[in-house]
Structure 1
Amino acid sequence: MLLLLALGAGWWLRPRLVPGSPVAATTSAAAAPGRFPERMRGVSWVGTDSVSSLDMAPLTRAGVSWIAQTPFGWQAGAATPAVRLSIGKGNRHYWGESDAGLIATAQRAREQGIRTLLKPHLWLRGGGGTWPGDVKMTSEADWQAWFASYSTFILHYARLAESAQLDGLCIGTELAQTVSHEAEWRALIKQIRQAYHGPLTYAANWSGEFEQVGFWDALDFIGVQAYFPLSTTERPTKKALLVAWREPLRRLEAVQKKYGKPLVFTEIGYKTTPDAAVEPWAWPNHLDVLTPPDEATQAACYAAMFETFWPRPWFGGLFIWKWYPALQPDGPARRHLDFTPQHKPAEHIMAEWFRK
């Protein structure tokens, strides 16, 4: 069922469709001017060394209609004005993050009526930085060099998304120190529009970056990496989590109202640990494998999040972090503790809301 909302034209610029697919059946309504297409019911896909239609079956059973694929670019340090594409000889990465793997995975997904958001990330190799939010140049010349290098990186994926008919492109992820360079981002968006004719977003960090981005109007929807801290204690109740969401909800609604764009959680997820709501962005450490998993807390986090946002007419959907192809119920303890909802009560909650 489509959620048809008059939130402004331009978000669904050119649907990527396979004739006869479930997605194709929604074309006329989704593409209608001024209408909002089907809400994004997504998961963040983990690239591996192969993909088959069998890997997609659990997604369709869970009501998933989108996957986000994440190739990486590499940067030597936070102040190093050069981004290296992870392609070509001598570059080590999963096949699923290569151009060929991205295209093949999207094709397998499309056969099941599942759309693809291409969401490239940067990986910092040290040198004073540990995540993309640390990227910050020390001179104007280095800023210009960085934007030139990053443009080469992201335009590669814009052309790939166009040639493979992918359904959406995220032009950057959590590059918080760069968004004040609005003119450079706007110029880059114009270049990307020339290469790729599908919908665009940017994935801004929860901690305030999403409120600092000044170029949301140039994109098709607002993307937020929604790892908001919701508790200071372990094992919060769903009731407490619902209360904790009120302030982030207020901030998100303010940005959405200002720009009049659908707002999508480009990432959201919770570990299977008692402290899942304390620092939701933090990965389990090696000592966490000694801790019994806490599926009830993870499930409460999912329930509170869906109850808070799914009824909001401006909410464009979300991508759950993350989904491992072919993960078995008796997989490694680290997998059981980490962010995936697979084979846990959280997956049932996700599926229930996705099927609404």
Structure 2
Amino acid sequence: MPFLSARRWLLLALLLSVGIAVWQRQAAQTPPAPRPQLSAATAAGPPPADGRLRGVSWVAGDSASSSDMEPLVQARVTWIAQTPFGWQAGAAVPEVRLHTGRGSRHYWGESDAGLVQTAKQARQRGIQTLLKPHLWLRGGTGSWPGDINMTTEAGWQQWFASYSVFILHYAQLAEAHKMAALCIGTELQHATAGHEAEWRALIARVRQVYHGPLTYAANWSGEFEQIQFWDALDFIGIQAYFPLSKTASPDKAALLKAWQEPFRRIRAVQKRYKKPVVFTEIGYKTTPDAAIEPWAWPDRMAVLTTADEATQAACYAAMFETFWPEKWFRGLFVWKWYPGLAPDRSARRHLDFTPQHKPAEQIMTEWFGR
């Protein structure tokens, strides 16, 4: 999951009113860019029944309906990743708090009831669910689970005991409600380093409860190469935010060249473990610097930033051209997809990662049809 620093929110209250006013003046003076229309060939027919995961990361909301699923069907999406959260008070606090109901800080869609209802609505349209629990850090320490790091071995044992309760709850939920795959962890780079035995024990316990395919979502920066327990899982999951450029607005040719080294690294791990690879997350902002640090959220303070749909589209095209033809590559989950998102130029969404109502969505749809 892309990382958003808490410090960037400190100035938001001061700049919000000014930024909105400036954007409104710009919007009034600048007509909306034309939106891509799917060709008849693109819009026709379901995707091939080849077992590939044609996925998007679903943004939880206050409801889920059949109408929310229709744009996914049109985009040939066959999977969604749903993300409930566990909470830690700090990076070195060995307790994961499980929240299964709707609360003041939790969306309905992240509650057990919301996860189940969303999965049911998706399944009625032929769309499967990857249940992908995440951890969130509180107390101003940041939100990236890669920061989690106990200071003692006793702390790690306490953490694994607490984390196991967290994951086993969702394993039971996934089994009871026929969710098609389960991710047992996301970007826990310190927890996976040097704790192979603990993960193998957790995987064995999960398999006693849940009988669908399992994966782990490893960080792109090296964690996926260090994990020693891929053989115990069903596919290799990678959060594929590889940096592909040092300059803004690269073209597709430059991006294709930049993918060569990450491709080599991924292929080496795949050959070692002989497991299929899935990008459990991949996405690009709608900004000129989308390929420089793909994991970074767009700067919410930069209200005058010009959207760059061409760069986002080039990033999608280069990624699909590099990986989709490979038989060992079994699919991906695009970060991210908002249910009910209208086709306008709202300041909140236009610089965002979503491909919705942008040229990137057409590229995704076309490749998902292959």
Q: Same fold per TM (> 0.5)?
A: yes
Deviation at 1:127, TM superposition (A): 5.7
- Are the counterparts in 2 of residues 78 and 126 from structure 1 also a CA contact under 8 Å? no
Q: 2:320 aligns with which of 306, 320, 333?
A: 306
Q: Count matched residues.
A: 324
Give the corresponding residue for 1:194: 208
Deviation at 1:38, TM superposition (A): 1.2
Distance 2:102 2:126 in 1: 33
After superposition, residues 69-108 of structure 1 pair within 5 angstroms as 69-88=82-101, 92-108=105-121
The one of the two structures with greater contact order (alpha-carbon pairs below 8 A, sep at least 6) is: 2
Give the corresponding residue for 1:152: 165
- CA deviations 1:118-146 (Å, max 9, x no partner) are 00000011364541001110111110000
- CA deviations 1:311-337 (Å, max 9, x no partner) are 011001000000000000115212110
Give the corresponding residue for 2:233: 219
Secondary structure of 1:300's counterpart equals: helix
Deviation at 1:91, TM superposition (A): 5.7
Secondary structure of 1:320's counterpart equals: strand
> Matched residues, percent identical?
73
List gaps (5 residues or longer) in structure 1: 1-21, 27-36
- CA deviations 1:7-61 (Å, max 9, x no partner) are xxxxxxxxxxxxxxx99x96xxxxxxxxxx5111000000100011000000000
Change (3 A) 1:89 1:56: closer
Q: 2:73 aligns with which of 60, 65, 78?
A: 60
Distance 1:50 1:322 in 2: 17
Change (3 A) 1:213 1:336: same
After superposition, residues 1-356 of structure 1 pair within 5 angstroms as 38-88=51-101, 92-126=105-139, 128-180=141-193, 181-330=195-344, 332-356=346-370
Amino acid at match of 1:196: Y
- Are the counterparts in 1 of residues 175 and 210 from structure 2 also a CA contact under 8 Å? yes
Amino acid at match of 2:59: V
Amino acid at match of 1:59: L
TM-score, length basis structure 2: 0.85
Distance 1:200 1:184 in 2: 16
TM-score, length basis structure 1: 0.89
List gaps (5 residues or longer) in structure 2: 1-45
Superposition CA RMSD, Å: 1.5
- Are the counterparts in 2 of residues 289 and 334 from structure 1 also a CA contact under 8 Å? no
- CA deviations 1:282-335 (Å, max 9, x no partner) are 001222331110000000000000000000110010000000000001152121
Distance 1:248 1:162 in 2: 34
